[in-house]
Chain A
Amino acid sequence: MERSKQTRAPIYEALENFRRNRVVPFDVPGHKHGRGNPELVQLLGERCVSIDVNSMKPLDNLCHPVSVIKEAEELAADAFGADHAFLMVGGTTSAVQSMILSCCKKGDKIIMPRNVHRSAINALVLCGAKPIYVNPDVDQKLGIALGMKREDVIRAMEQNPDAVAVLVNNPTYYGICSDLRAIVKAAHDKGMLVLADEAHGTHFYFGKDLPVSAMAAGADIASVSMHKSGGSLTQSSFLLTGKGVHPGHIRQIINLTQTTSGSYLLLSSLDISRRNLALRGEESFRAVTALAEYARDEINKIGDYYAFGREMINGDSIYDFDPTKLSIHTLDIGLAGIEVYDILRDEYDIQIEFGDLGNILAYLSIGDRIREVERLVTALADLKRRYKKDKTGMLSQEYIAPKVVMTPQDSFYAAKESLPLEETAGRVCSEFVMCYPPGIPVLAPGEEITDEIINYIVYAKEKGCSMTGPEDERIQRLNVLKNCEVKEYGNVVF
């Protein structure tokens, strides 16, 4: 990374120039620097609406960058150690989908852990590729899915030598990393590409003593949620590519689904946040790690909570751990994570990232201060004093290994019927079911519905998880395939 160049922010600078020139707009957007929509100006402020503008020569064009956006891409690539970087305005969802669509077509096989975000499986519905799922390792006590074991990934590669790519979470929502370098080596030996979902790994590129980033590990493409730990506006992300990936092809794929009116608020926020991380990321993330370590110590002192950290590392399925993540196991106070999540919000005015059956995750970032961490810890102490109860009868297992019967695309578009949830055991699901967040499907299209899955759905609903995916918004019915013959298509399920 060339530090002196990183002080630049070309999109931001072009917008500043544009603003100073007081250009008269006879183009879209129709609010015309906010004049046509005073209430919007009151909400967002003069400065904000004045740079909500359309593509034009001095500001470049996201669909075909030649000037300031191109420069911003080059600076981002340099900052992230990538060959090329693409500015994304459709969330990391659009980055994940573009990276999968860029290397898979109908019938191609792609190896991935089953605890991927829905965006990855959505891409398979779009393109018709076949997922070869690797079951992630599972921590029995915490109930959470971990990374993939090396031997499991390698076995999947050996049994599917025709697979085109391997997708890896780097890290998972809980901050757990698989052995990315080893996976890259094994995949490249077999001529497969490595795609990394780094929705939760932006800071790996800038901090010290953090897990290895996808580009540093030699992965081919990575999707990086700049808007999560990177500090940019919601919905803005980067897609990064390594050596040997043709940027022109990736751009074409991105343009299949990307808007032709990319928001300059999002683009400039990417530009400024990249600059900030390049210049100050290392010290910022050192502070975030210190804050998270402090919180872990204090929370573990309360007793009955377990805020887990690097002690979990096992050399394989927890090859590394992201110390900025603050996940807390809550079952020992007799409450599901989602219940603690709800109580923290409703009674203590504390909003955390998510709660699942056995854990909560508090998201710490460059915007946090010690005083808010003290509130969280103190609230957890008070919550325990008031609510602690017996934990018998509580479910903890978040991950259920799927039985894949058909590809996501075939099943999504096949003839289907709607059945009450309780009557669906043994049938093949044609839609997604997941708790959001974290957005990891418990059922994906083409998977067999089992009693265990139905129990999980009923329990999670009862505990207050917000479930999404199915057509029936109350999730009392599920769409299942009509004339379903349960035929295994040769998928490997470990």
Chain B
Amino acid sequence: MEMWFSDIHTDGVKLSIRIEEQLFSSQSQVQRIDVLESRDFGKILVVDGDLMLTERDEFIYHEMITHVPMAVHPDVKEVLVMGGGDGGVVRELIKYDTIEQIDVVEPDPLLVEVCRKYIPEIANSLTDSRVNIYHEDGLRFIRSKGDAYDLIIIDSPNPFGAGEGLFTKEFYGNCYNALHEDGIMINQNESPFYTEEAFQCQRMHKRILETFPICRVYQAHIPSYPSGHWLFGFASKKYHPLNDLDKVGWKLRGIHTRYYEPRLHAGVFALPVYVEALLRDVENIE
């Protein structure tokens, strides 16, 4: 018997992965959650039919969204993770013993439960004593926060659907307000390749530019995501992503990674010409 899961990338493109077994499927208050087992990508977390992460390549995404700001900001103590109920970002964060508090805002309790059960290697990080999980709407949570965090990581999958509110100007504005005066905000910035996503890339970049004085975009290669070419946004009140990179300091921490590396750090901010042009398009409006 053949069973295939298809992640729809555009109306005309999909990525199909052969599935050995469906491990879990349920509809929560917020969304439909599925866990699939595959030979080539390991376990796959699917939310509302969209591929969220695979065991095989999730380290790339989670390392790149976490270690880039951590190697720049000299003294991160309080971190907010928006979304991130799978625990991937937190797994990277708890490698830093200088971090004192990690708040995770994940609206869907079922997602956390399912991840703890089916991908414990990732989600068990959420049991770390520094972690507080809030099952709340992200917008509602952030509204009441001011001057509270050194780092905010927006780990929300999809600018359409339940997480839409985390891709808006009002959200970025409230994040700005929730950060200390030298805070950094990182967001997953979609792929620049397909037309619809490219448009979302631009919109996000524009919204963040309007809010933060320092905004740069960096990239990673994530095989299971649409086009494989993925962008992240680095928005900051004070620190520059390259000028303030502390390569030696980071190395001395002795953190084990499989993708991130300070030498790579400088490179990922060098973007392909067409991506530069895409971003410049909205930068020039200012």
A347 cross-chain contacts in B, Cβ below 8 A:
169, 210
Q: Is A27 an interface residue (CB 8 A)?
A: no
Bound together, the chains give a CA A419 to CA B137 distance in angstroms of 55
Chain A residues 4 to 44 lying within 8 A of chain B, measured CB to CB, are none
- B154-212 residues at the A interface, CB under 8 angstroms: 162, 164-165, 168-171, 173-174, 177, 210
Which of A348, A383, A385 sits near B168, CB closer than 8 Å? A348
- Contact across chains for A378 and B171 when beta carbons are under 8 A apart: yes
Which chain B residue has the least Cβ–Cβ distance from A344? B170
User: Are B162 and A378 in contact, CB atoms less than 8 angstroms apart?
Assistant: no
> What separation, in Å, do the CA atoms of A377 and B141 have in the docked complex?
12
* Interface assignment of B139: CB less than 8 Å from any CB of chain A: yes
A287: shortest Cβ distance to chain B, in Å? 15
Interface contact B168-A370, CB-CB below 8 Å: no
* Separation of A167 and B134 alpha carbons in the complex (Å): 52
B165, A375: Cβ atoms closer than 8 Å: yes
Give the CA-CA distance A459 to B225 in the complex, in Å: 52
Query: A370-B137, A375-B139 known; A381 and B165 CB under 8 Å?
Result: no
Q: Please tell me if B142 contacts chain A, counting CB pairs below 8 Å.
A: yes
What chain A residues lie within 8 Å of B170 (beta carbons)? 348, 375, 378-379, 381-383
In the bound assembly, the distance between CA atoms of A375 and B173 in angstroms comes to 12
Q: Known: A385-B177, A386-B173. Is A379-B137 also a contact (CB below 8 A)?
A: no
CB-nearest residue of chain A to B175? A382
Residues of A within 8 A of B174 (CB): 378, 381-382
Interface string of A365-402 (1 = CB under 8 A from B): 00000110011011101110110000000000000000
Pull 12 A–B residue pairs with CB atoms less than 8 Å apart, ordered by A.
A298-B143, A348-B169, A349-B168, A371-B164, A374-B139, A377-B139, A378-B168, A378-B171, A378-B174, A379-B169, A381-B143, A381-B170
A298, A379, A385: the one contacting B140 at CB < 8 Å is A298
Tell me, rounded to whole Å, the shortest Cβ–Cβ distance linking A89 to chain B.
Answer: 34
Interface residues in B102-150 by Cβ distance below 8 A to A read 137, 139-140, 142-143
> Which of A302, A348, A378, A385 has the largest number of chain B CB atoms within 10 A?
A378
Main secondary structure, interface of A, reads helix
Which residues from B are CB-within-8-Å of A302?
A: 143
**Which residues of B lie under 8 Å from residue A371 when comparing CB positions?**
137, 139, 162, 164-165
Nearest opposing residue in chain A for B169, CB measure: A348
CA distance A379 to B139 in the complex (A): 9
Taking a contact as CB atoms closer than 8 A, the residue among A348, A377, A383, A386 that contacts B143 in the complex is A377
Task: Say how far A52's CB is from chain B's closest CB, in angstroms.
Answer: 26
- Give complex CA distance A377, B170 in Å: 9
Instruction: Write the nearest CB–CB distance from B88 to chain A, whole angstroms.
Output: 23
Can you add 13 more A-B contacts, CB < 8 Å, to A371-B164, A374-B165? A298-B140, A348-B169, A374-B139, A374-B140, A375-B164, A375-B168, A378-B143, A378-B165, A378-B170, A378-B171, A378-B174, A379-B170, A382-B170
- List of B residues within 8 angstroms of A385 by Cβ: 173, 177
In the complex, what residue of chain B is closest to A386 when comparing beta carbons? B173
User: Which of B162, B168, B170 has most chain A Cβ within 10 Å?
Assistant: B170
Rank and list the top 10 A-B pairs by shortest CB-CB distance, nearest first: A382-B173, A379-B170, A374-B139, A378-B139, A378-B170, A382-B170, A374-B137, A381-B143, A375-B165, A348-B169
Residue numbers in A under 8 Å from B139 (CB-CB): 371, 374-375, 377-378
CA separation between A473 and B103, bound complex, in Å? 55
- Closest CB of chain A to B259's CB: distance in Å? 33
Flag A313-337 by CB within 8 Å of B: 1 or 0 each. Answer: 0000000000000000000000000
Measured between beta carbons, the chain B residues less than 8 angstroms from A375 are: 139, 164-165, 168, 170
Q: How far is the CB of B163 from chain A (nearest CB, A)?
A: 9
Name which residue of chain B comes closest to A376, CB basis.
Answer: B170
Q: Chain B residues with Cβ under 8 A from A377's Cβ?
A: 139-140, 143
Report the nearest A residue to B173, measured CB to CB: A382
Q: Which residues of A contact B142 (CB under 8 A)?
A: 378
Output the least CB separation between B3 and chain A (Å). Answer: 32
Q: How far is the CA of A328 from the CA of B174 in the complex (A)?
A: 20
Inter-chain CA distance A385–B164, complex, in Å, is 22
Which residue of chain A has its CB nearest to the CB of B142?
A378
